[in-house]
Amino acid sequence: MNKWLGSWAFYQQEQFLAYKAEALGKRVVHQDPRYTSQKCNVCKHIKRTNRHKSKFQCKNCGHQTHADLNASRNVRDDYILSSTQGTQEQGSVNAPCVSGNYIS
């Protein structure tokens, strides 16, 4: 499945996602992905060396987690922040049930 999805052009994938979301009465919201993998979701410090492959460790506060989990939390937080400051209604975001540390 990942190989099949990865072979799509981003625009085509976006079109499929928007089509399916519309059919379900949902909407697709675009978020700026810049620095989401370099920014600490705890202290918001941005530094390129915070991420090394799949590991995230903040050079400012020491927070450690899986890099993709950190980035996804930044996307979520940026969406919530933009929706409360703009005219969009706030969306429901399911918080993952996470226990423990993901650094291996």
CA–CA distance, 99 with 60 (Å, rounded to integer): 23
50 — pLDDT class (breaks 50, 70, 90): very high
Q: Which residues of 63-80 are buried (b: 16+ CB within 10 A; e: fewer)?
A: bebbbeebbebbbbebbe
Q: Within 13 A of 95's CA, how many CA atoms are on the CB side? A: 5
pTM of the model: 0.66
In sequence order, what are the residues at sequence separation of 6 or more whose Cβ sits closer than 8 angstroms to the Cβ of residue 61? 40, 42, 43, 45
Q: Would the pLDDT of 6 be above 80?
A: no
